[in-house]
Structure 1
Amino acid sequence: MTALYHILGAKQFNRTELEELFESASRLENRELWNTDPRFQGKIMTTLFFEASTRTRLSFESAMSRLGGKVIGTENAAQFSSTIKGETLEDTIRIVSGYSDLIVLRHTDIGAAERAAKVADVPIINAGDGAGEHPTQALLDLYSIRKECGRIEGLTIAMIGDLAYGRTVHSLSYMLANYPDIRLLFVSPENVRIPSYVKHFLDEKGVSYRETEDFDEALQTADVLYQTRIQKERFPSVEEYRKAEGRYIINRDILGKMRQDAIILHPLPRAGEIAVEVDDDPRAAYFRQAQNGLYIRMALVEKCLAAK
């Protein structure tokens, strides 16, 4: 595999690198390989999270532990770090670089990971930067599509919900551009449509996409329904949030309109946009998707530390 140092955004990956990473993740699903590689003994990963997280932080920490390394960090760096005293992100990264072999950073500001990478002495992995990108989520999303559908190329993927502030949608769109004959259907209320800069990128890459508010079209045509949460915390006002709230909900009635060979993905957490009654349907792949995050992040940690 070509060595990667920092993992900052979805655009840095080409198809060869993606496929090599997926092969590594598949290999690391074998539990007999866990804690057997001497390269990770004594290695330390810092999780520096300025924004709340459950799946991303814990899956990274589990990934490092499964590989045989150690973890230090904070789940609320905005409150329980020197940031509260006025320390800049750059100074925090300079200090933490001296304690770690790898830093996993989640921040509220778009571009924070790039700023960190400019001053870090160790690899930086972007675990989400505000409404910007979430490249490791996109990697596990792609890996999940590949496992569930048997391929990525030639699929129709409907992205539903908050497409303006949904960083997972942005990153996944960028990565999907590496595959031929992809068709994207962006389903959202008017006030949370996919940003123009994402559409511009897709236009440059020749990716077919269409915007609509018609949920039924997605149900009838999509191989993958990528449902997202309407992110109340990112809206400029309560009024804007209420314009988008509750528009697209997958429940038992909706299941009856879906294709039988389609799958449902969600980056989680959900907040009512997928009813609990859907969980037992074999097309509901979002918990399998979350589990895949462990294997992808093991592969990423392995890659970043091998590059040092």
Structure 2
Amino acid sequence: MEKLRHVISARQFDDPEYLNGLFDVANQMERDDVFRALTDPLRGRILATLFYEPSTRTRFSFEAAMQKLGGGVLTAENMRESSSATKGETIEDTIRIVSGYADAIAIRHYEQGTAEAAARISPVPVINAGDGVGEHPTQALTDVYTIRKELGRLSGLRVVLVGDLLNGRTIHSLLPLLALYKDVQVDLVSPWQLRLPLKHREYLLEKHVAFHESEKLDGLIEQADVLYITRVQKERFATVEEYDAVKDSYILDARMADRLKPEAIIMHALPRVNEISPEVDANARAAYFRQAKNGLYIRMALLKTLLA
């Protein structure tokens, strides 16, 4: 794998050994944070976070990561309505301007491909923090890091992905990373309307990843090492009626969670609506809040890699 310049797609991370190194850095960051031993390798550096779509975990974790490493942050949480975009400024011009103020840019945008377009003209590193229904590579890195921490391995897994696989950019980025490891089996569970796009299924075939599609979760829970639930994304539907038809397709409650193997984990990139009942939070298998915390350390590791 070539030295990182930008982080646009999970497919850039095609070397498991590189990932192991990145995860080791993230793990060290966590230990240093716990023991108040963090240094400030990014002192004097500035990260700009440009968010054209709402975010809590991703934006806050990027900003916290930069500050914990000694750097500063320029932040815009509602670029779609409170920036010069409302005056017609193009994304290219915005990037040209902001790159004069910041040493790196994390961008979330509602249009797929925007982060890639930004990277083509940016003189500073660009990190894709989610582009429409495209990708969310730093979330995928967080997810794989979480699986390694929780289960101690990344090979020989059965991963059950549930919910909105059509629009779920977290899933679109996770699958290429899972494909790097041996004997990984993937179950794709969704309503037919929210089926994983063909290009991602073709990628799994190309990489010889065993996968199975189903509209039913029954019979799969007991076999899962990782049960990854996704939110049905209301904002991606043309009508409320279309959303209402599928929004309650899968709801994980306490009784269902107890059917998982004792060592299995439940993941979710969050935010959740009703797809995981709050009563599941007390289950030791529920890893989604730990998963969110892991995102801080993964983004610290990435920022250090890009800027130190």
In structure 2, the gaps of 5 or more residues are none
Q: How far apart are 1:238 and its partner, in Å?
A: 2.1
1:80: how far off? 1.1
Q: Work out whether residues 108 and 129 of structure 2, in 8 Å CA contact, stay in contact via their aligned partners in 1.
A: yes
Question: Residue 108 of structure 2 contacts residue 130 of structure 2 at CA under 8 Å; is this kept in 1?
Answer: yes
Q: Aligned to 1:36, which of 28, 34, 39?
A: 39
The reply to whether residue 7 of structure 1 matches residue 10 of structure 2 is no
Say if 1:103 and 1:125, in contact at 8 Å, map to a contact too. Answer: yes
**Alpha-carbon distance in structure 2 between the residues aligned to 1:218 and 1:261:** 15
Whether the aligned pair in 2 keeps the contact of 1:126 and 1:135 (CA below 8 Å) is yes
Instruction: Give the alignment partner of residue 273 of structure 2, picking from 271, 274, 287.
Output: 271
Runs of 4+ in 1 over 6 A off after TM superposition: none
Alignment match, 1:72 = 74
**Structure 1 residue 35: Cα displacement:** 4.7
Contact in 2 for aligned 1:154/1:181 (Cα 8 Å): yes
Aligned-pair CA distance for 1:36 = 1.6
Look up the match of 1:26: 27
Q: Distance in 2 between matches of 1:242 and 1:152?
A: 36
Say whether 1:17 aligns with 2:24.
no
Shift of the 178–198 alpha-carbon distance from structure 1 to 2, 3 Å rule, reads same
Q: Quick check: 27-36 or 9-18, which moved more?
A: 27-36
1:195-210 mapped onto 2 (5 Å cutoff): 195-210=197-212
Q: Is the 8 A contact 2:29 2:38 kept in 1?
A: no
> 2:70 corresponds to which letter in structure 1?
G
Output the amino acid matched with 1:7.
Answer: V
**Distance in 1 of aligned mates of 2:134 and 2:206:** 19
Distance in 2 separating the partners of 1:33 and 1:155:
35
| Shift in CA distance, 104/34, structure 1 to aligned 2, threshold 3 Å | farther
Matches of 1:40 and 1:55 in 2, distance apart? 21
> Aligned partners of 1:126 and 1:292: how far apart in 2?
18
Aligned 8 A contact 1:155 1:181 in 2:
yes
Number of residue equivalences: 305
Quote the RMSD (CA, aligned, Å): 1.2
Shift of 1:34: 5.3
Map of 1:290 onto structure 2: 292
The 8 Å contact of residues 187 and 218 in structure 1, kept in 2 or not, is answered as no
Tell me if the contact between 1:110 and 1:131 (Cα under 8 Å) persists in the aligned partners.
Answer: yes
Match of 1:179 in 2: 181
Q: Which moves more between the two structures, 147-156 or 229-238?
A: 229-238
State the TM-score, normalized to the length of structure 2: 0.97
- Secondary structure of 2:219's partner? helix
1:105-144 superposed matches below 5 A: 105-144=107-146
CA change 1:71–1:34 in 2 (3 A) is farther
CA distance in 1, matches of 2:218, 2:25: 37
What is aligned with 1:218? 220
State the Cα distance separating 1:226 from its structure 2 match.
0.2
Supply the distance in 1 between the matched residues of 2:37 and 2:11 (Cα, whole angstroms): 30
1:224-243 residue pairs with structure 2 within 5 A?
224-243=226-245
Q: Offset of 1:218 from its aligned partner? A: 2.2
- Give secondary structure in 2 for the equivalent of 1:226: strand
The alignment status of 1:162 with 2:168, answered yes or no, reads: no
Contact 1:34 1:67 in 2 (8 A): no
Shift of 1:243: 2.3
Secondary structure class of the residue paired with 1:83: helix
Confirm or deny: 8 A CA contact 1:61 1:71 kept in the other structure. Answer: yes
User: What is residue 89 of structure 2 aligned with on the other side?
Assistant: 87
1:94-117 C-alpha deviation (Å, 9 max, x unpaired): 000000000000000100110000
* One-letter amino acid matched to 2:27: S
Post-superposition offset of 1:135: 0.3
Q: CA deviation at 1:33?
A: 6.5
Specify every segment of 5 or more residues in structure 1 that has no aligned partner in the other structure, as ranges: none
Q: What is the 5 A alignment of 1:237-256?
A: 237-256=239-258
- Quick one: distance in 1 between partners of 2:207 and 2:37? 39
Q: For the residues of structure 2 that align with 1:257 and 1:205, how far apart are their CA atoms?
A: 31
